[in-house]
Structure 1
C-alpha cells in the first residue's frame, strides 16, 4: 500500500510538472519579440485581409489564457495542430518520424548499458594496465561530442570503408538497424564513457565496505562477492543515472539525426526551429519533456526495488 501511494504521488507530480512545462512551451511563442503572426508568415509580407485571416485561423486575437486552454484541450485529445511548413497535421508528422527516433535511442541506450557497465566492471575488478587502458579510452569518449563522433564515423566507416550508409533511416527493421548503427554509436559514445567511469568508481568504493571484507574473510568466492556484494550495490547509482542518460540521448538526437539525415523527430525539431514552424516545435518539445519525465518516473519506481536502502518518497539513503 505504501508503494501504491508513492507511485500515485509521483504520477500526480509528473502530471503537474508536465502541465507547467506545457504552459512554458506554449508561452514561448509570445515571449519572442514581435507579433506571433509575423512568425507564422515566416517573414513574408501579407495584406491586411491575409493577416486578419491568420489571426482568425490561429485565434491570435483571443486572450492568452483562452488560447492556451484551447491548445491544451486539443493536445489532450492528440491534436497538436497543423504544421505551417508541411501543411499537414503535426500528429501525422510525429507518427511518421517517431519510430526512427525511438529505434535510434533504443539502440544507443543498449550500447550505453551493455558496454558502459562491462567496461566499468572490468576496470574495477582487474585493475592494473587493463584499468588504465579503460580509463584512457573512456576519457577520450567523454571528451568527444556527439557531432564530432558523427563526422569521424561517417568519414571512416561510410566514406572510406563503405561499410555503413552515411545518411537516411532505412526501411524495415533490418534496414533501420543497418542505417542507424553509426548514428547510435555516435549518440552513445559520450555516455558509454561516463557510465563506465561511474560504474568503476562506485564498484571500487563498494569493495572497501565492511560487509565485502567480511564476506571475503568467510571464504566466499571472489566472483560471488563481486556479483552479490559489490555490483549489486552499484545498481542504485547506475539506475539513478537513467534519467540523465535518456535526457542526454533525447537532446543529442537533434545533432546526430541532422548529421546523418535521419528522418526522426530530432531532425524535425531542428528544421522546424529554423523555419519557425511553431506548432511542430511545441509538439516535439512537449513530447521530449513527456518522454524524459516518464523515464524519471520509472527510475523512481524501480529504485526502491533495486536498492533497499532507498526509502519510498525520497532518493536519499536511509540512515
Structure 2
C-alpha cells in the first residue's frame, strides 16, 4: 500500500507546479504582442475615452500582480472569465468542447496501452516472424506523423471503404465513439509504436537478468517467472513512457481535431490564438498544464505500486 505521506508530497509538488505554471501562462499572454483593447476595437479609430472604458471594464489598468491574483482566485472558483471574441463565458465554451477532447484522449490512451504493451510483450517473449513483424510495424508507426496518419486512415477507411465517418464528433455515446475511432487511431499510432519498442526491450532485458535465469534454473515454471518477475519488473520503464505519451496526447489532439474537424478544445485554442482571445487561451493553457501534472502524478503512484523500493527511497 502506498503511504499517505508519499501521496501528500506528490500532491503538494503538483500544486506548486500549477501555481508557477499559472503565473507563467498569465504573464506570457500579456507579454505577447497586441492587447485586448486593440482586438476589441478591430482596428477602428476610437476616442481615448472609449479605450479607457474598455480598459476599466476588463481591469487592464490594475497592477499586473493584482490582475493575476484576481484571475487566479476566479479560476479556483471555476470562473475563467469572458471570451473577448464572442462575449461568452469561457467556462461554457470549455464545457461544450472538453468532452470531445477527453473522449478522444481516453480512446487513444486505451489504444496505446492495449496495442503498445500487448505487441511489446508479444515481441519480447517470442522470436522469429512475430518479433520481426512487430519491429517492422513499430518502425512504420513511429515514422508516420500524426497528421499524415490521419490522412491515410481517412483515405482508406472513410473514403475508400466507407466504414467510418470523416468529419464531426457525432451525437450520443456510441455515435461519438464511432466518429472518434479513426481520430483516436491516428493520435495513438506513433505513441503505441514507441511503447511497443520500449516494452519489447524491457521484456528481453528482464528475461536475461540474473534473478530470472536463476528462478528458471531452480525449477520455477517459466510462465510464473514471466508473469511475476519479468513482466512486472518490465513495467517500470514502460509505465514512465506510457505516462509521458498519454500526457502528450492532449497537445497532439489539436492536430487530429483540426484534421477531422472535431469540436474539441484544440480547435477552440487555435481560433482563440488567431483572434487574440486572451481569456480562452489562458484557460486552455492552464487546463493542459493541470492535465499533464495529474497524469505525471498518476504515473508516480503507479511506479510506486509496482516497485515498493521506489516509494521507500522517496519517503
Do they superpose with TM above 0.5?
Answer: yes
The ranges of structure 1 where at least 4 consecutive aligned residues each deviate by more than 6 angstroms after the TM superposition are none
Distance in 1 (alpha carbons) for counterparts of 2:259 and 2:94: 20
Structure 1 residue 276: deviation in Å?
Answer: 1.4
Q: CA deviation at 1:29?
A: 1.8
- Does residue 84 in structure 1 map to residue 97 in structure 2? no
Distance 1:158 1:49, change over 3 A: farther
Asked whether the equivalents of residues 30 and 36 of structure 1 are also in contact (C-alpha less than 8 Å), the reply is no
The question of whether the paired residues in 2 share the 8 Å contact of 1:164 and 1:182 is answered with: yes
Give the Cα–Cα distance (whole angstroms) in 2 for the partners of residues 185 and 53 of structure 1: 49
Is the partner of 1:104 in helix, strand or coil? helix
TM normalised by structure 1 equals 0.94
Q: Is the 8 A contact 2:36 2:277 kept in 1?
A: no
Inter-partner Cα distance in structure 2 for 1:111 and 1:34: 41
Provide the residue aligned with 1:275 in structure 2: 275
Matched, 1:17 2:17: yes
Partner Cα separation in structure 1 for residue 307 and residue 192 of structure 2: 23
Instruction: Measure the CA separation in 2 of the matches of 1:111 and 1:123.
Output: 17
CA distance in structure 2 between the partners assigned to 1:39 and 1:224 by the alignment: 65
Distance 2:143 2:35 in 1: 42
Question: Distance in 1 between the 2:64 and 2:244 partners?
Answer: 34
Shift of residue 242 of structure 1?
A: 3.5
| Higher RCO (CA < 8 A, seq sep 6+) | 2
Alpha-carbon contact 2:169-2:263 (below 8 Å) kept: yes
- Deviation for aligned residue 1:313: 6.0
Q: Does the 8 Å CA contact 1:112/1:191 hold for their aligned counterparts?
A: yes
2:42 and 2:19 map into 1 onto residues whose CA distance is 28
Change (3 A) 1:264 1:44: farther
5+ unaligned residues in a row in structure 1: which ranges?
A: none
Unmatched tracts of structure 2, length 5 or more: none
Deviations 1:69-122 (A, max 9, x none): 111111010000011223210000111111111111111100100010111011
